[in-house]
Amino acid sequence: MKKIEAIIKPFKLGEVREALLDLGAVGMTMSEVKGFGRQKGHTEIYRGSEYTVDFLPKMKIEVVVGDAVASKAVDLIIKAARTGKIGDGKVFVSHIEEAVRIRTDERGEKAV
């Protein structure tokens, strides 16, 4: 199994979710993160002290899928998340050795 981690722009969450559902994924986990990258941050001012906020709000989606669909999933996510503007984010794929569904104790691809 593969874990796909996608760091995307927050307002693209809905589209990425739809894309994954279309693929047949039945589960995913999401968290709010802050990203630093080429997309430069913005300046904020508080009572005259100006400073740069480099870390921008991003959404991280983690989805574990069977090996077979992993690359398809990556492509779909990329398509859904792309705006073409800097800061669109990254997708990382890594190997998962075991997955377990807590409720049923099912293991492996059945569990994802």
Partner 1 sequence: MWKNQNLAWRRRVLRSLGRAAVLFAFALGVHGAEAAGAPRDASLEERVTDLEALMNHTAPAAVHRASRVSVNAGDHAWLLTSAALVLMMTGPGLALFYGGLVRSKNVLSTMMHSLFLMALMSVLWILYGYSVAFGEGNRFFGDPGQHFLLRGVGAAPNLDYAGTVPHQSFMLFQLMFAIITPALISGAFAERMKFSAMVLFILLWATVVYFPMAHMVWGKGGLFNWVLGGAIPALDFAGGTVVHVSSGVSALVCCLVLGKRLGHPSTPMPPHNVVYSLVGAGLLWIGWFGFNAGSALNAGALASAAFAATHFATAAAALAWAGLEWILKGKPSALGLASGMVAGLVAITPAAGFVTPAVGLLIGLLAGAACYFAVTKLKAAFGYDDSLDAFGVHGLGGTLGALLTGIFADPEVNPALASTWKAHGATVSLAGGFGQFLHQLKAVAFAWALAMAATYLILKAIDALIGLRVSEEDETLGLDLSQHGEGAYNT
Ligand X SMILES: Nc1ncnc2c1ncn2[C@@H]1O[C@H](COP(=O)(O)OP(=O)(O)O)[C@@H](O)[C@H]1O
List interacting residues with its own copies (CB under 8 A).
Answer: 2-3, 6-8, 17, 26-38, 54-55, 58, 60, 64, 74, 77-78, 81-103, 105, 111-112
47 binds, among partner 1, ligand X, its own copies, none (CB under 5 to 8 A by kind): partner 1
Question: What is the rounded distance in angstroms from the CA atom of residue 27 to the CA atom of residue 106?
Answer: 15
- Kindly tell me which of 36 and 44 has the beta carbon lying closer to its own copies: 36
Question: What is the rounded distance in angstroms from the CA atom of residue 19 to the CA atom of residue 14?
Answer: 9
Identify the residue among 46, 84, 103, 105 touching partner 1 (CB under 8 A).
46
Question: What is the rounded distance in angstroms from the CA atom of residue 44 to the CA atom of residue 36?
Answer: 16
Residue 96 main-chain phi, psi, to 5 deg: -115, 130
- The DSSP string of 39-66 is S--EEEEETTEEEEE-PEEEEEEEEEE-
Q: Is 48 in the site for partner 1 (CB under 8 A)?
A: yes
Q: Is 29 in the site for partner 1 (CB under 8 A)?
A: no
Token duo for residue 44? 């904020």
Chain contacts with ligand X (rule: CB under 6 A) = 7, 27-29, 35-39, 56, 58, 62-64, 86-90, 101, 103, 112
Q: Which residues bind partner 1 (CB under 8 A)?
A: 11, 14, 32, 42-51, 53
